[in-house]
Amino acid sequence: MNPSEKAASSHPVIRTLTSPAGRALLALLLVLLVGLIFNADGAFFRPGTHRDALRQASVYGILACGLTLVIITAGIDLAVGSVLALVAVCGAKMAIHWHWPAVVVVVASLLVGAACGGTCGFVAARLRVQPFIATLAMMVFARGLAKYASGGMKVSRSFGGEFVDLPPLFAFIDKRILGDNVSMVSVIFLGCVVLAWLALDRHRWGRQLYAIGGNEDAARLSGVPVVAAKAAAYVASGVFAAIAGLCQAAQEQQGDPETGGGYELIAIAMVVIGGTSLMGGRGGMGLTLLGVLTIGYLEKILSINAVPEAGRLMLTGLIIVVAVLTQRRRPA
Amino acid sequence: MQTKTLFSSLLTVVFLAGFTGCKPSTDSSDTPGAARYTIGMSQCNLGEPWRVQMNADVKAAADQHPELKVIFKDAQNDTLKQRAHVEEFVSAKVDLILISPKEAAPLTEPVAKAMAAGIPVIVLDRALLGDQFTCFIGADNVKIGRAAGEWIRQTLGGKGKVVELKGLMTSVPGQDRHQGFRQGIAGSQIEIIFEADMKWLEPEARKEMESALARFDQIDLVYAHNDPGAHGAYLAAQATAREKQMKFVGIDALPHEGVAYVKKGILDATFQYPTGGAEAVATALKILRGESVPKKIVLGSRVFDKANVEQGGRELP
Q: What domains sit in chain B, N to C, each tagged with a CATH number?
A: 13-139+275-298 (3.40.50.2300), 141-273 (3.40.50.2300)
B46 close to A (CB below 8 A): yes
Q: Domain A52-327 adopts which CATH fold?
A: ABC transporter involved in vitamin B12 uptake, BtuC (1.10.3470)
* H-type alpha helices, chain B: 2-20, 49-63, 79-91, 104-116, 141-155, 172-185, 202-215, 227-239, 258-264, 277-288
Q: Give buried/exposed letters for B225-236 (b at 16+ CB in 10 A, else e).
A: bbbbbbbbbbbb
Q: What are the sequence ranges of the domains in chain A?
A: 52-327
The answer to whether A303 contacts B202, with C-beta atoms less than 8 Å apart, is no
Return the closest-CA partner of residue B44 out of B19, B81, B69: B81
Sign of the C-alpha dihedral computed for residues A263, A268, A273 and A276 taken in this order: positive
Query: What are A165-181's pLDDT values in tens digits?
Result: 889 899 899 888 887 78
Which regions of A56-213 does DSSP assign to beta strands (E)? Answer: 158-159, 162-163, 176-177, 182-183
B256 close to A (CB below 8 A): yes
* H-type alpha helices, A277-327: 285-304, 309-327
Q: Which band of pLDDT confidence, cut at 50, 70 and 90, is reported for residue B16? A: very low
Q: Which of A52, A159, A163 is the closest to B264 by Cβ?
A: A163
Return the closest-CA partner of residue B254 out of B97, B48, B32: B48
The answer to whether A309 contacts B169, with C-beta atoms less than 8 Å apart, is yes
Residues 284-303 of B with CB under 8 A from A: none
Give the number of other Cβ atoms within 10 Å of residue A136's Cβ. Answer: 22
Mutate: best of A52, A147, A299, A320, partner B, most B CBs <10 A: A52
- The residue in chain A having the minimum alpha-carbon distance to the alpha carbon of residue B45 is A152
Give me the mean pLDDT over the B252-279 stretch: 93
Return the closest-CA partner of residue A85 out of A234, A231, A237, A254: A254
pLDDT at B32: 47
CA distance B20 to B25: 11
Residue A328: exposed, middle, or buried by beta-carbon count in 10 A (0-12, 13-18, 19+)?
exposed
> Does residue A54 come out as left (phi exceeding 0), alpha (psi in the -120 to 50 range) or beta?
alpha
Give the number of other Cβ atoms within 10 Å of residue B65's Cβ. Answer: 19
Print pLDDT tens along chain A (332 aa): 444 444 445 677 777 767 788 888 888 888 888 888 888 787 888 888 888 889 889 999 999 999 999 999 999 999 999 999 999 999 999 999 898 999 999 999 999 999 999 999 999 999 999 999 999 999 999 999 998 998 878 888 887 777 888 898 998 998 888 877 888 999 999 999 999 999 999 999 999 999 999 999 999 999 899 999 999 999 999 999 999 999 999 998 889 898 998 899 999 999 998 889 888 888 899 999 999 999 999 988 888 888 888 888 888 888 888 877 776 665 43
Query: What are B37-74's pLDDT values in tens digits?
Result: 999 999 988 877 889 889 999 999 999 999 999 999 98
